[in-house]
Amino acid sequence: MPDTRPAVLELDSVSRVFRPPGEPPVAVLRGVSLRVEAGETLAILGPSGSGKSTLLNLIAGLDRPDAGTIAVQGRDLTGLGDRDLARLRNRQIGFIFQLHHLLPQCTVLENILVPTLAEPDRAAAASQRRRAEGLLKRVGLADRAGAFPGTLSGGERQRVAVARALIHQPPLLLADEPTGALDAAAAGCLADLLMELNRETGTTLLVVTHSLDLARRLGRRMVLRDGRLEASAEGAP
């Protein structure tokens, strides 16, 4: 029997045009289509300014397309109101940024629990805390739970950001240049961690990167060029 499960992510003819006041409109995405199955790992490459972050922000529901549809686990984001979109984003999508975006005044453990504050659930609080502690152990930072981000290295902060992105066990993990601010050794460790998590949990991984080292490790590579996404041989093993 054919597999009729919805893809984890499906984009159909997505366009995004920015209209800066007093300047000509900029058509950054011109009909991007993409299907990503559960458990896949995908790298998106492309020159600076080609629209990679724009695309990731649309998939994360942080921005809305001008045309086309974006479905996460069969649910069309473009039809959702702001509240439902925020809820789906919080539950279904983990996001790792180039710069970790940790809250400096909160401890490492508190930072990992930040996504759970959006919908406080007293009954679940203890188990969420245990899960955060487990994730911290998983990323190799169990002994830094009470530390503040300012006292961690760049690679350690990025590992905390990975744990935070996974607190709700999202089926889809998005990362925008996750190793962009790291040296080669720390970048290698982070790539190891992302690949291991994909294998262990089956989380689908979509990574925007300039790093061919990282792209080479992912199952599929695509390149964004002239507003369109195409299969890429760049970074192929």
Binding site for ligand ATP (CB under 6 A): 18, 20, 26, 28, 46, 48-54
Q: Which is nearer to ligand ATP, 38 or 62 (CB)?
A: 62
If you count DSSP H runs as helices and E runs as strands, how many of each does the chain have, helices first? 7, 10
CB of 108 to Mg ion, least distance (A): 26
CB of 178 to ligand ATP, least distance (A): 12
The answer to whether 179 contacts Mg ion (rule: CB under 5 A) is no
Q: Which is nearer to Mg ion, 136 or 194 (CB)?
A: 194
Binding partner of residue 51 among Mg ion, ligand ATP, none, CB under 5 to 8 Å per kind? Answer: ligand ATP
DSSP character at residue 6 = P
- Binding segment toward Mg ion, per CB under 5 A, in 9-17, 46-54, 104-112, 138-146: 46-54
Residue 205 CB contacts under 8 Å (≥ 6 apart), including other chains: 40, 41, 42, 173, 175, 194, 197, 198, 218
The answer to whether 203 contacts Mg ion (rule: CB under 5 A) is no
Q: Which is nearer to ligand ATP, 49 or 219 (CB)?
A: 49
DSSP per-residue codes, 114-169: GGGGSS--HHHHHHHHHHHHHHHHHTT-GGGTT--GGGS-HHHHHHHHHHHHTTT-
Nearest CA to 3 out of 35, 33, 32 is that of 35
CB of 181 to ligand ATP, least distance (A): 12
CB of 236 to Mg ion, least distance (A): 22
Residue 131 CB contacts under 8 Å (≥ 6 apart), including other chains: 167
The answer to whether 53 contacts Mg ion (rule: CB under 5 A) is yes
Q: Which is nearer to ligand ATP, 110 or 176 (CB)?
A: 176
Q: Which is nearer to Mg ion, 71 or 222 (CB)?
A: 222
Q: Which is nearer to ligand ATP, 22 or 150 (CB)?
A: 22
Residue 107 CB contacts under 8 Å (≥ 6 apart), including other chains: 145, 146, 147, 148
Distance CA 207, CA 163 (A): 16
Assess contact for 203 and 173: CB atoms under 8 A: yes
* CA trace torsion 59, 65, 68, 72 (10° rounding): 20
Binding partner of residue 18 among Mg ion, ligand ATP, none, CB under 5 to 8 Å per kind? Answer: ligand ATP
Q: Which is nearer to ligand ATP, 96 or 113 (CB)?
A: 96
SS3 87: helix
Q: What residue number has its CB nearest to Mg ion?
A: 53
Assess contact for 25 and 18: CB atoms under 8 A: yes
| Contact residues: Mg ion, CB under 5 A | 53
